[in-house]
Amino acid sequence: MCGWQRFLLCCLLGALGGCAYTLPVRPILSPQWTATVHYRAHALDSQASARTLAYLQAWRQLAQEAARTARAPSSAQPSALLAAAVLPVVVHEQWDGTTYRLTARAPTDAAGLAAAWQRLARYPYAAEALHGAQQRLEGLLRQLAALRQTAGEDAHLRQRYAAHAEALAATVQYVRGLVHAAAAQPQQALAAFDAALALDAHYAAAYVARGTVADELGDYRRALKDFDTAIALAPDFALAYASRGVTYARLAQHQAALADFDRAIALAPQAARVYYNRGTLYAEMGKDRQALADFDRAIALAPRDAAAYTNRGAVYARLGKDRQALADFNRAIALAPTHPGAYYNRGTLYAKRGKYRQAIADLQAALQLGLRQAERKLLALRQRQLVLEVQERLQRAGFNPGARDGLLGPQTRAALRRYQQRRGLPVTGEPDPATLQALGLAAAQ
């Protein structure tokens, strides 16, 4: 997923201000992360194309400022995500027919930039998507530069120039949609992708991105329609197959999903996330050997992917390989301390091994991180831990509860009744509040 080496930021800076051609601008950068650009239009420029090129130059200036002042979080391909995280908002613009004056500001300050950066880093396929946007920007800017060097200003030349400029504007909307999608703002993301496709109806990546958001919203029919369109436009687009495979997997259309994942891997054999998704599907199908092979490959390609360690650990746990499972869960938590799934799975493993205190701590962490399914298991484990402590206190007090297993079985109930009778408590055979208080314990929350 992160194999490419030329980061979006570097390529953006080169494409907009480097050897391809230099825009005739006078940028002025303020300390408040705003950039003002005065773009002198070429004879081929319309107001729309002049605005797009002025905007791109402002984006370049803000990305440079962000690179100088922001501290990068520790994540793969940080520079690729920085330019997207700092995608600016226009605050003032003016067009007089020859010069486009535009002022734009970054959507966040230095403190908020790292959070936006990390959201993009976590969003599926963001690196590939931004890499594709970077390549598209470079190519379109080269084509515009070539057209600007072409003699003459006939209608066909103007039409081609305008089409390339619209494609540039579509790319900006596409990146904006990715930023909204990563920030869990699906409606804003859909609006941005719609805007991109209104500008360029043949933009396959925008169909994939829009379909991904539809998938996240549970609109699988719309998602599949967008993925199908993308594949029809670009039959060798690996990301389109990978994304459609995810939707098929959600619909339990396993064979269709596997076919799409296989096709995506054939087209992009270094795409770690596709191996991860295919491995997850194999695990759901009970094909543990194939799942482990795919997770191994995903981890080899992306050794900092916490989700891959978590899912591989879950397969190991199912196979009874507790040592390997625990090592994977520990690694996942070390890589992503806010990843709830790793805590949940490690807590489940600790519970299986009778380590209830550790299990409760992990499930509590998973719940605090938003994994609601941990709540029921957490309550059950707290009750079991309480019964285990009751058994230990009864044993120390001379009332044999039988096996100390955290289960309120017949022997434990009999021991409780004897203890309650001896202490003059209501004889219930239950660890009621009065009994717990007498034993020096508090009720489970």
Of 343, 357, 269, 287, residue with least CA distance to 313 = 343
Q: Sort residue 115 into left (φ over 0), alpha (ψ -120 to 50) or beta.
A: alpha
Q: Sort residue 176 into left (φ over 0), alpha (ψ -120 to 50) or beta.
A: alpha
pLDDT over 70 percentage in the chain: 88
Residue 20's pLDDT is 26
Residue 218's pLDDT is 97
Q: Which residue has the higher pLDDT, 242 or 406?
A: 242
Question: What average pLDDT score do residues 220-232 get?
Answer: 98
Query: Per-residue pLDDT tens for 181-216?
Result: 999 999 999 999 999 999 999 999 999 999 999 999
Average pLDDT, the chain: 86
Picking from 252-266, 296-310, 403-417, which range would have the lowest pLDDT averaged per residue?
403-417
364 has pLDDT over 80: yes
The set of residues, in sequence order, having a beta carbon less than 8 Å from that of 44 and lying 6+ positions away, is 147, 148, 153, 157, 158, 161
Question: What average pLDDT score do residues 264-282 get?
Answer: 96
Which three-class secondary structure string do you get for 219-250? CHHHHHHHHHHHHHHCCCCHHHHHHHHHHHHH
CA–CA distance, 107 with 105 (Å, rounded to integer)? 6
pTM of the prediction? Answer: 0.78
CA–CA distance, 160 with 416 (Å, rounded to integer)? 87
Residue 15's pLDDT is 29
Query: Per-residue pLDDT tens for 162-190?
Result: 999 999 999 999 999 999 999 999 999 99
Of 444, 349, 368, residue with least CA distance to 406 = 444
Question: What average pLDDT score do residues 76-93 get?
Answer: 76
Residue 18's pLDDT is 26
Q: Which residue has the higher pLDDT, 229 or 123?
A: 229
32 has pLDDT over 80: no
Residue 70's pLDDT is 56
Question: Residue 32 burial by CB count (10 A; 0-12/13-18/19+): exposed, middle or buried?
Answer: exposed
Of 311, 300, 43, residue with least CA distance to 152 = 43
The set of residues, in sequence order, having a beta carbon less than 8 Å from that of 46 and lying 6+ positions away, is 162, 165
CA–CA distance, 396 with 416 (Å, rounded to integer)? 13
